[in-house]
Amino acid sequence: MAVAVETRPPLRSTGFRPGRLFLLAIPAAFLITFFVSPMVLVALRSGAPGWIASYTNILTSEVYLKVLANSFRTALITTALTVLIGYPYAYATARVTGTLRILLLALVLMPFWSSLLARTFSWLALLQDTGLINQTLIGMGLIDSPLPLVRTQVGVIIAMVHIMLPYFVLPLFAVMVKLDRSFMSAAESLGANAFRRFYRVFLPLSMPGVAAGASLVFILTLGFYITPAILGDPNQAMIGEVIATDLETIGFARASALGIVLLAVTLILFAVFAAARSAYVARSRA
Amino acid sequence: MKIQRRHVALTVVTVVVGVFLILPTLYIIPLSFDASSTLGVPSGRWTTSWYVELFTDRAWARAARNSLQVAVLTTVLATVLGTVLALAFRVKSRINSIANAVTLAPMIVPAVILGVGLYGLLVSWGLGHRAYRAGDSVRGGRGGQQPVAGRPRLREGRGVARRIARASTRQSGATACASGDRGGRVVRVRHQLG
């Protein structure tokens, strides 16, 4: 029966399936060539003059430690602010319907579709001393001298939150829209007020979306290059900039070693994050 | 739509975030017609000369063509590979978890590290400028559209991005501490404004 064949659930494959293997082979070949092998190359070359020397050079250098700390701090602040303002926005977008929802989604998608570089320069035009924000504030007599919004971490964080918001809002919105509304009705019929319904039912159910969006934002922010290069303080460079500079000035080995250190710290943070998450899930099920 | 009182705070936050999202995108529209060559507040003198330059300057045309080429090739490659992978994942199997981890890994690895690795790999093949396509496809397959940050020294890489960076460097009277063409940072702008 044709219908039965089409609707049966996918079977666990037990035997050898040449067709499936072939399907996997093409992307696998691509990923091995253009992802696995460059990563192996980076790992191998990072110990170029001597494994111990090249890593102790980095881990004992005040400059590199400062840059690493600054990068993770900036990424954390950016992620936290993105979550803080992105969550209510995604919530509002999921709550409304019709034209208003389309408008709110368009406001997220417009920057998402426009060039990263153009938006960064637009922020420069808005934030610098002669820019719109400072000139407006001075014109209104609120401040006497321009606020230091560029060449500082403030400008970098404002622009990065702006660039990262779509990456957070869109996956979270997708999760929120799919949430089963009957849980909320059940909570209401059991006497939970609006705050309790949100805090005890909606928020925990939307947490997978928050986790997915926040980790994406964190990783993308860590690797940022253009935005801190244009808006940031050169003395507070982020690791992406330093790796690029060192690739030019010092060479491939140093850039690779820095990359490996960055990767190691990132993976450790993710392991901690994953452990905390499974502990949270275990506790909420108990 | 009637706004209930307990939704006032949510409405205010949503409006503020909405304005924040759209402001930079809208702000470049008046700037693009501004006669002044500095980035900042529009001077009030309007011109279309930037657009004339954009459509007549051959360097811009070349940059646009390069960008388009990279974008089209990346999209095609990422779509084909992604679809093939999705088809392969349809059948449940033990390989899936490994294959899934490998395909997701490019999203966990900060772009700059992959950029450094790809650069080294492709240079060793004598293919420095091909790094653009490969790098974007690896990340593009999973929807990341972050530029591969470690794209230095790609001499052939005169994409629109670099042209914009250069033009606005020139435009704003800033000194480009340019490793620009020679060393090839995509952009290293030292602004001496205000």
Report pLDDT digits (tens) over A266-284. Answer: 888 888 888 888 887 787 7
Same domain flag for A41 and A180: no
Hunting for tokens 């646009």 — which residue is that?
Answer: B64
Rounded CA-CA distance B17/A91 in Å is 12
Cα–Cα distance, A76 to B1 (Å, whole number): 37
The arithmetic mean of pLDDT across residues A71-84, rounded, is 94
Torsion sign over Cα A237, A239, A245, A251: positive
Look at residue A11 and tell me if it is in a domain: no
- CATH assignment at residue A125: 1.10.3720.10
State the complex-level ipTM: 0.80
Q: Based on the domain organization, do A116 and A132 belong to the same domain?
A: yes
Q: Report which listed range, A46-55, A130-139, A167-176, B135-144, is most confident.
A: A167-176
Q: Which residue's entry shows tokens 């840059």?
A: A67
For testing contact with chain A, the best of B21, B137, B158 (most A CBs within 10 A): B21
pLDDT at position B174: 31
Q: Which of B2, B8, B14, B118 to mutate to test the interface with A (most CBs of A within 10 A)?
A: B14
Say if A252 falls within a structural domain.
Answer: yes
The pLDDT value recorded for residue B4 is: 62
Give the pLDDT mean for A81-106: 94
| pLDDT score at A234 | 80
Closest CA to B117 of B102, A49, B109: B109
**Separation CA B93–CA B110 (nearest Å):** 29
Round to whole Å and give the CA distance between B115 and A112: 22
From the CA of A134, how many Å to the nearest CA of chain B? 10
- The 3 state secondary structure assigned to A81-143 is HHHHHHHHHHHHHHHCCHHHHHHHHHHHHHHHHCCHHHHHHHHHHHHCCCCHHHHHHHHCCCC
| Residue B180 or B161, more confident | B161
What is the percent of chain B where pLDDT is above 70? 59
- What total of structural domains would you count in chain A? 2
CB contact under 8 A, A12 and B81: no
CB within 8 A of A200, min separation 6: which ones?
A187, A192
Residue A30 sits in the same domain as residue A64: no
Q: Give the lowest-confidence range in A34-48, A212-226, B150-164.
A: B150-164
Q: pLDDT band at residue B152, thresholds of 50, 70 and 90?
A: very low
Do A40 and A172 sit in the same domain of this protein?
Answer: no
- Residues A131, A114: Cα–Cα separation, whole Å: 21
Strand partners, B34: B46
Q: Looking at residues B149-168, what average pLDDT do you find? A: 42
Residues A22 and A78 in one domain: no
List CB contacts (< 8 A) between A93 and chain B: 14
Residue A217: the pLDDT is 92
Torsion from C-alpha of A155, A67, B174, B159, nearest 10 degrees? -90
Query: What integer is the mean pLDDT of A154-161?
Result: 92
Structural domain contains residue A30 = yes
pTM confidence score: 0.76
Residue A255 in this model has a pLDDT that exceeds 70? yes
State mean pLDDT over B114-133: 72
Q: Is A187 within a domain? A: yes
**B145 by DSSP, 3-state: which?**
coil
The answer on pLDDT for B33 being more than 60 is: yes
In which residue are the tokens 């990072």 written? A46
Confidence band, pLDDT 50/70/90 cuts, at residue B7: confident
Return d(Cα B19, Cα A29) in angstroms, integer: 45
CB contact under 8 A, A243 and B22: no
Query: Helix or strand or coil: residue B48?
Result: coil
Structure tokens at B115: 């950029």
Taking an 8 Å cut-off on Cβ atoms, the answer to whether A110 and B134 are in contact is: no
Test B91 with A11 for CB contact under 8 angstroms: yes
Higher pLDDT, B31 or B3: B31
A155 and A40 in a common domain: no
- CA of A24 vs chain B CAs: smallest distance (Å): 6
Question: Which of A7, A32, A47 represents a domain boundary (last residue)?
Answer: A47
> Rounded to a whole number, what is the distance in Å from the CA of A117 to chain B's nearest CA?
6
User: Contacts by A47-52 with C-beta closer than 8 Å and gap 24+?
Assistant: A47/A253, A47/A257, A48/A252, A48/A253, A48/A256, A49/A253
Residues A26, A106, single domain; the answer is no
- Whether residues A173 and A36 share a domain: the answer is no
Q: What is the pLDDT of residues B177-190, one digit of tens each?
A: 222 222 223 333 32
Place B138 in a pLDDT band, splitting at 50, 70 and 90: low
Are A246 and A255 in contact, with CB atoms under 8 Å apart? yes
Pair A70, A212 in one domain: yes
The two structure tokens encoding residue A33: 């060539």
**Which residues sit opposite A12 in a β-bridge?**
B92
The closest of A103, A124, A135, A159 to B15, measured between CA atoms, is A103
Mean pLDDT of chain A: 84
For range A8-23, the mean pLDDT:
60
A72 and A114 in a single domain? The answer is yes
Q: In this structure, what DSSP letter does residue B92 have?
A: B
Above 90 in pLDDT, residue A158?
Answer: yes
SS3 of residue B42 by DSSP: coil
Lowest model confidence (mean pLDDT) among A1-15, A150-164, A249-263, B51-65: A1-15
Domain that holds residue A24: 18-47
Would you call A34 and B190 a contact, using CB atoms and an 8 Å cutoff?
Answer: no
Digit-coded pLDDT (tens) for B85-117: 888 777 666 777 777 777 777 777 877 888 888
Question: Is residue A108 domain-resident?
Answer: yes
Is residue A240 within 8 Å of B149, Cβ to Cβ?
A: yes
Q: Which parts of B125-190 fold into alpha helices (H)?
A: 131-140, 160-171
Does one domain contain both A132 and A30?
no
- A132 contacts in chain B (CB < 8 Å): 27, 40-41
- Look at chain A and count its residues: 286
3-state secondary structure of B175: strand
Are A247 and A111 part of one and the same domain? yes
How far is Cα A210 from Cα A275, in angstroms, rounded to an integer?
16
Contacts of B95 in chain A (CB under 8 A): 24
